[in-house]
Amino acid sequence: MKKKGYDELVVTVSGVSGAGKTTCAEIIVELFGLRYVSAGMIFRKMASERGMSIVEFSLEAEKDEAIDRLIDDQTLREASFGGVVLDGRLTGIMVGEKADLRVLVVAPFEERVKRIAERDGVSFEEAREQTLKREFSEVHRYKKLYGADINDVEKYDIVLNTAKFTPEKIKSIIKTTVENLIRNNGKSLYYSHSFY
């Protein structure tokens, strides 16, 4: 990695629904003044434009590879401009070595469902059913399209269990990691750091 300032960084935040991607991405944006691009928001917008629910659109994406490819192309384009936090299921895998830091956020399934239910204003049972359907669809789509396992932690520099840490602690972990990365010109992350 060439010497970069904070404003040039490309950071990816990956993980499944309800894991805390948006919270983590927003912390990084606030810390380092980067742009924010969410693959999930692009996906939701596309679903809404077609009058479909997220689950319905996920099933549609299983049949039409162009949907995922369009989102991925936009993500890669944003990465090429630099100075960005890319939030999405596959951003770490898609952007690959073009990212200066790849973060994977995780949380227990029940905690994720609880967060999704609160976020979407639905019952826990409904959120659970939708989450299972959506994640089943995603696992098969991503494996078919890219041979990618979204749970493969080896692709990431940091794995954060967001159920274990407050946003303030997450902020401290990210800040320290990025400052170390910049100080050592990208040579400090030879192995993944897991925070469980």
Angle formed at CA 98 by CA 89 and CA 146, multiple of 5 degrees:
45
User: Is 1 contained in some domain?
Assistant: no
Across all residues in the chain, what is the average pLDDT?
85
Q: Is the pLDDT at 192 greater than 50, yes or no?
A: no
Both structure tokens of 55: 């689950």
pLDDT at 35: 94
Q: Tens of pLDDT along 111-147? A: 999 999 999 999 999 999 999 988 887 787 778 777 7
CATH number at residue 140: 3.40.50.300
Which pTM does this prediction carry? Answer: 0.81
User: Is 175 contained in some domain?
Assistant: yes
Q: Tens of pLDDT along 84-115? A: 999 988 888 888 888 999 999 999 999 999 99
How crowded is residue 136: how many other Cβ atoms within 10 Å of its Cβ? 13
User: Is 12 contained in some domain?
Assistant: yes
Share of the chain above pLDDT 90, in %: 39
User: Is 123 contained in some domain?
Assistant: yes
Task: Please give the residue range of the domain that contains residue 120.
Answer: 6-195
User: Is 174 contained in some domain?
Assistant: yes
User: Is 17 contained in some domain?
Assistant: yes
User: Is 126 contained in some domain?
Assistant: yes
pLDDT-derived band at 195, boundaries 50, 70, 90? low
Q: What is the mean pLDDT of residues 172-181?
A: 86
Both structure tokens of 139: 């696992």
Q: How many domains does the chain have?
A: 1
User: Is 75 contained in some domain?
Assistant: yes
